[in-house]
């Protein structure tokens, strides 16, 4: 690896300025009069003379109309930037940001609406959960508590294959579907109540 500090000056007595990069990047590198800096400048033509300073480009200020030969990004006459940021570009960026905000907000609202509707239809209170007695039938539980969110078959070694039904927690908010009340039945009888 070649170190910048080990590179010789562009030429003997070279003044500060941009010269072809001694590391061969294809760009100009700034020589501060004593050392090479990490500041890279414009592209240079292939085969450009190593000891010859790269001339600065001619820039015309959009604000004041002054013409300058400079590497600087701001006009030496009025201090305004040479960069062109058009109103159309700014408007497009603002519109994209607003669309993203609306999309995120709309999706969040839709999720809340859907999960809210689902959980209200299939939710039970803790008191209802606690009031269900072991050995009740699945029909008794469902007629008392209503339609469950889900019915799944699970393998439970002492009982074989069992059926578990799930209800959301009443007033549990958006996350009630992720922390449900479960009732598990073996041969149609409730043998376990759980809250994962």
What pLDDT sits at residue 35? 93
Q: Is 68 helix (H, G, I), strand (E, B) or coil?
A: strand
**pLDDT digits 0-9 by tens, 113-135:** 554 444 456 788 888 889 999 99
Say how far apart CA 196 and CA 194 lie, in whole Å: 6
Mean pLDDT of the chain: 80
Contact between 16 and 1 under an 8 Å Cβ cutoff? The reply is no
pTM, full prediction? 0.39
Q: Where are the domains of the chain?
A: 9-69, 85-196
CATH fold, domain 85-196, is Beta-lactamase Inhibitory Protein; Chain:B, domain 1 (3.30.1450)
């Amino acid at each position: 690896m070649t170190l910048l500090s080990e590179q010789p000056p562009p030429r003997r007595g070279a003044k500060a300025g941009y010269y072809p990069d001694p590391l061969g990047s294809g760009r100009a590198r700034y020589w501060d009069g004593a050392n090479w800096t990490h500041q890279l400048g414009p592209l240079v033509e292939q085969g450009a003379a190593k000891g010859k300073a790269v001339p600065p480009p001619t820039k015309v200020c959009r604000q004041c109309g002054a013409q300058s030969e400079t590497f600087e990004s701001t006009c030496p006459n009025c201090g305004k930037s040479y960069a062109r940021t058009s109103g159309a570009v700014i408007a497009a960026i603002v519109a994209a940001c607003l669309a993203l905000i609306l999309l995120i907000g709309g999706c969040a609202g839709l999720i809340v609406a859907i999960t809210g509707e689902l959980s209200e239809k299939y939710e039970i209170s803790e008191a209802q959960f606690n009031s269900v007695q072991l050995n009740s039938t699945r029909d008794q539980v469902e007629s008392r508590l209503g339609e469950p969110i889900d019915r799944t078959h699970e393998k439970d070694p002492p009982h074989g294959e069992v059926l578990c039904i799930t209800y959301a927690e009443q007033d549990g908010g958006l996350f009630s579907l992720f922390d449900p009340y479960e009732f598990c039945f073996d041969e149609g009888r409730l043998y376990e109540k759980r809250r994962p």
